[in-house]
């Protein structure tokens, strides 16, 4: 049975498929990424993208998402 992807999952897959981003982030896009999996990814770029989408889906403000994102990246990079 085909896996059902949410709108967020589809956005995640579309963004992660970007070649320049994957080179920068040093990951291999699979086209099957999901938000829930990406949020616990060990790759900071994948996780950062997932956090952006997740934040928007959870109605967080831009500032809240930015703060979480920079805190995470500062620690992860």
Partner 1 sequence: MKLKKIIIKNFRSYYGENCFELSDGLTLVIGDNGDGKTTFFEALEWLFDTSKENKSESNVSEMRKHELGIGDSDIVSVSVQFEHGGEREICKSFRFERQTNGNILTRDFSFVGYTQFGSERKRVDGKNLLEACFDTVVRRYCLFKGERELNVFDNNTALKTLVDTFSGIKQFDQYVENTEWFEQESDKLVTRELKKDKKQEDTVKRLEADMSRVMRDISDTTRDIKTKEKAVSDFESRIRVLEENQDACENLQTIKSRIDSKRTELNRMKLHVDLDYNALLLDDMWILRSFPSILQEYQSKVSMLSKEERRMQKAEDERIAVEKGKKEALKEIQKLANDATPLPWNLPDKETMQEMIDDEVCKVCGRPAPKGSEPYEFMVRKLNEYLEHIRQESAAAESKEMDVKPLFENEYVAELHTRGIQMSGDVEKTISKLATKIDDRLQFVQMRKNDVEKISQELQEAEDAKLQLLIQNPSLTEEMLDKTFHDYKGLSESSKRAELDLKDLQHKLSDLEELKASIKEEQNKIEPSNGIVKIYQRVHLTLERIMKAFGEARTANITSFLNMLENEANFYLKKLNAGDFRGVIRIIRTVDGSARIALYSSNGTPITNPGGAQKTTMYMSVLFAISKITTLKRDEDYPLIFDAPTSSFGEFKEDVFYNIIDQIDKQCVIFTKDLLNFDRESGTRKLDYSKINSLSCTVYRIHKQDGYDEEDLSTIRTITEKIK
Q: Which two tokens stand for residue 54?
A: 């997740």
**Interface with partner 1, residue 38, by CB under 8 A:** no
Alpha-carbon distance values, 72 to 25, 32, 65 (Å): 15, 24, 10
The only residue of 25, 33, 35, 54 in contact with partner 1, by rule CB under 8 A: 25
The only residue of 17, 30, 32, 36 in contact with partner 1, by rule CB under 8 A: 17
Residues near partner 1 (CB under 8 A), total: 27
Give the nearest distance from C-beta 22 to partner 1 in angstroms.
9
Q: Cα(10)–Cα(32) distance, rounded to whole angstroms? A: 9
Q: Cα(34)–Cα(74) distance, rounded to whole angstroms? A: 23
Give the binding site for partner 1 (CB under 8 A). 7, 10-11, 14-18, 20-21, 24-25, 44-45, 48-49, 52-53, 56, 62, 65-66, 69-70, 73-74, 77
């Amino acid at each position: 049975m085909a896996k059902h992807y949410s709108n967020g999952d589809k956005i995640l897959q579309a963004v992660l498929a970007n070649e320049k981003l994957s080179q920068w982030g040093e990951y291999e896009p699979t086209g099957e990424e999901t938000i829930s999996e990406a949020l616990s990814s060990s790759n900071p770029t994948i996780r950062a993208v997932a956090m952006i989408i997740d934040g928007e889906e959870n109605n967080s403000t831009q500032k809240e998402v930015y703060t979480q994102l920079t805190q995470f990246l500062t620690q992860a990079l």
